[in-house]
Every structure is written in structure tokens, then in C-alpha cells.
Chains A and B, each alone.
Chain A
Amino acid sequence: MITLSDYLVLSTILFMIGLFGVVRRKNLLMLFFATEIMLNAVNIGLAAISNYYGDLTGQMFAFFIIAIAASEVAVGLGLLILWFKRKGTIDLDSLQSMKG
């Protein structure tokens, strides 16, 4: 029997993978991928709670998170392409131009 805690633990594991990716990777494209993973992990948690408590609110939030993820990708990729045209690299360290 699969309980709510199992789904929540799975959601945490996936979130940790995404967090690891965000902290560890220096490639801007990988950063976007890791963000997608984190958003999806949260969606699993919301859907699980929605199912086990018989409440539709979790699914509604998951829908809005999907919409936000889609717009994040559109704007983020636009900025990424613009940055690549300017600097010719997608290294995260190239953003650090002020050397503070």
C-alpha cells in the first residue's frame, strides 16, 4: 500500500536532485533543466496531497505551476539566446562581469 508519505518522500528526492543541479551546474541551460525538475517535484507533492485528502485545490495549484513553468521557459530561453549572441558563452560565471 502506497501512502501519502511515500509520494512526499519521492517528491523530496526529486526536489533534491533539482536543487543539486541548480547549485552544482555552471551551464545556464542545465540550470533551466534543474529548475524544471524542481517544479515537477512540487507538482507530484501537490497532486498526492490532492488525492489523499480528496481536495481539488492541489491539482489547481499544479496547473498554475505548469503555466508558470511554460512562461519561465519562454522568457528564460529568450534571455539565454540574447546572452549567447552577446558573449558567445552560456557559462554562468560569464554573468559575473562586475568582479565584485
Chain B
Amino acid sequence: MFEAVAFYLFSFLTIAMFSITVMSKNALYSLSSLAAGMIFISAFFFLLNADFLGVVQIIVYTGAVMALYAFGMMFVDTTTDVVEKIANPKLAFVLSALSAILVIIIVISPIVADNIQALYPVSANLGNAQDVGLVLFTKYLVPFEVAAVMLLVAMIGGIILAGKKMDEIHNNSELDDEFNLKV
């Protein structure tokens, strides 16, 4: 009962928040509703007994990613609305076809996966964080290290990309000329 109430409440909230994110013209509203939606999503992880994943979701998304977006928006002029001209008659066709395929896959997949075998079963006498740690640092050690290197590369890449000429005043035509000369 409690699970059902929580599931429907949070699914309604998440869908509403993400709809605002996608539909809103104002980037600031989008950012705020995205952050709210991320927190609501962590509720599903707690409902699904994935406590550690829920905590990571809150820390990484609303802590790190949202802060990064907020800083990124300070460099970009978000007060002027980007005029979006949308002219694509095939859009509705593509979207509905893709959603139909997705729904078919979702209906079929539990039937196909009926005889699935748990590769790394959830242990009964350990907490979720302990369980995750055991599997992550034994079976998934190499992907874990590769992910660490990938994050380092992304950090250095981000600093180099965004940090170059940080103190320079934004000058369109001059930079454009420079860009064209190089290319």
C-alpha cells in the first residue's frame, strides 16, 4: 500500500517536473525543475532497495551536475530567449514510431527474460551499500578504474575547454575571423 502510494506520487511528480524541463522557454525554470526531478527520481531508488544508488543520485546529480550547469549558465547568456523555429513534419511520425517500438520491447522483455539467472545475487544478510561495494570492488574493479580515468580525462578536458581565454571580453567578429583563418 505504502509502496503503491509512493510510486504513483513520485511518478506523477517526476513526469510533471521533467515535462516542465522540456517544455519551458526559460532556462532557469528548466534547471530548477530538472534538479527537483532528479531528487524525486532518487525516491524510486530507495523504493527499489537500492539505497546507495539513491544517495549517489542525490549527491552526484543535484550536488555536482546541477552546480556545473549553474556555473555553465553564468557564462552563457540565458536571459535572451533562443528563438526556436520548428518546422519538421516528420517529427510526429518518428516520435510515435520510436515510442511504439519501445512499448513493444517493454511488453515483451519480461516474457523473454523469464528464465533469467541472477549473476550477482543480492545477499540477504548484508546492507545494500556493503553489497554494492563487494561486487564493485571484485567483479567490476577494472570498469571502476576505467571510469575513474574517464572522469579524470573529462575533468581536465572541461578545464582546458572552458578555461582558455577566460579573462577575455567576448568579441564576436574578431574571434570569428580568427576561427575562419585557422580553418
A and B co-occur in one complex = yes
A70 to B75, CA, bound (A): 19
Contact between B34 and A85 (Cβ–Cβ < 8 Å)? no
0/1 per residue, B146-183, Cβ < 8 Å to A?
Answer: 01001101110111111011001010100110010000
Q: How many interface contacts (CB-CB < 8 Å) are there between A and B?
A: 233
Contact between A44 and B44 (Cβ–Cβ < 8 Å)? yes
How many A residues touch the partner, as a band?
35 or more
Contacts of A60 in B (CB 8 A): 120, 132, 135-136, 140
Contact between B84 and A47 (Cβ–Cβ < 8 Å)? no
Instruction: Point out residues on A near B: beta carbons under 8 Å.
Output: 1-2, 4-21, 23-27, 29-30, 32-34, 36-37, 40, 43-44, 47-48, 50-51, 53-57, 59-60, 62-64, 66-75, 77-82, 84-91, 93
28 residue pairs A–B, Cβ–Cβ below 8 Å? A16-B95, A24-B91, A25-B22, A29-B73, A36-B61, A36-B65, A48-B44, A50-B50, A51-B49, A51-B50, A54-B118, A56-B131, A56-B132, A57-B120, A64-B143, A67-B147, A68-B150, A69-B60, A71-B151, A72-B154, A74-B154, A74-B155, A77-B71, A78-B157, A80-B76, A86-B175, A87-B172, A93-B85
Instruction: Point out residues on B near A: beta carbons under 8 Å.
Output: 3-4, 7, 11, 14-15, 18-19, 21-22, 27, 30-31, 34, 37-38, 41, 44-45, 48-50, 52-53, 56-57, 60-61, 64-65, 68-69, 71-73, 75-78, 82-86, 91, 94-95, 98-99, 102-103, 106-107, 109-110, 113, 116, 118-122, 131-132, 135-136, 140, 143, 147, 150-151, 153-155, 157-162, 164-165, 168, 170, 172, 175-176, 179
